[in-house]
Amino acid sequence: MKYYIALVRKEAKSSYGVEFPDFPGCISAGDTLDEAARMGAEALEIHVKGMLEDGEAIPDPSTLDDIEREAKCTPVLVPLKMGTGKVVRVNVTFAEDVLAAIDDGALQRNVSRSALLAQAAHAFLEPPVERANKRSGVTTKAKLEQMIREKKKQSRSA
C-alpha cells in the first residue's frame, strides 16, 4: 500500500482542510480531525480511481523534502486504499488454542472470525506507518490532536 502526504490546515472558525500536493485539485475537509482524515482518504481514493479511468499515470509518493508547504499546515501520511472490495476466501492453519482464542475474541466483540482476523491484520500492518511518520517528521493524527489542544490552551491563557 502506498502512503501519500496530505497537508492539513485549520483556520479559526473553519473546518480542517486537507490537500494532496501529489494530486493537484484533490482536496477535502472535515469538522474534526477524524472526519478530515476519513474524508481525505476517501477523496484520494476517488481522485486516483478517476485518474486511472482517464488513463493517467499515478505519481509515486513525494517525500517531505519534495513538498513545499506553508508554516500553517501539518503533513500527515494517508494510505491509498485501492481495494476492489472483493472478499477472497483463504485457507489458514492455526494451533487449536490460538483458534479458540480467536473465536473467543470474535464472540466477545460480536464479530465473525474473519472480521476479527481482518481487523487484527489491519492493526498489525499500521505500526510501520507510525514509525515512518516519526522518522520523516510527518505528524501523526494523535500528535496533531495534541498540538491543537496545546495551542488552544495557550490561546486561552494569553
Domain hosting 32: range is 2-86+126-157
The CB density around residue 146, as the number of other CB atoms within 10 Å, is 12
Domain presence at residue 107 = no
- C-alpha grid cell for residue 11? 483556520
pLDDT in tens, 102-119: 999 999 988 889 888 988
Span 30-41, average pLDDT: 86
Give the chain's domain count: 1
Find the CATH number of the domain harbouring 24.
Answer: 3.30.160.250
Domain presence at residue 58 = yes
Q: How far apart are CA 158 and CA 50, in angstroms?
A: 47
Q: How far apart are CA 36 and CA 9, in angstroms?
A: 10
Domain presence at residue 63 = yes
Q: Is the model's pLDDT at 129 over the cut of 50? A: no
Q: What is the DSSP string of 75-104?
A: EEEEEE---------------HHHHHHHHH
Domain presence at residue 151 = yes
Q: Is the model's pLDDT at 5 over the cut of 70? A: yes
Percent of the chain with pLDDT over 90: 32
pLDDT in tens, 57-89: 999 999 888 887 666 788 888 888 876 667 788
Q: What is the pLDDT of residue 122?
A: 74
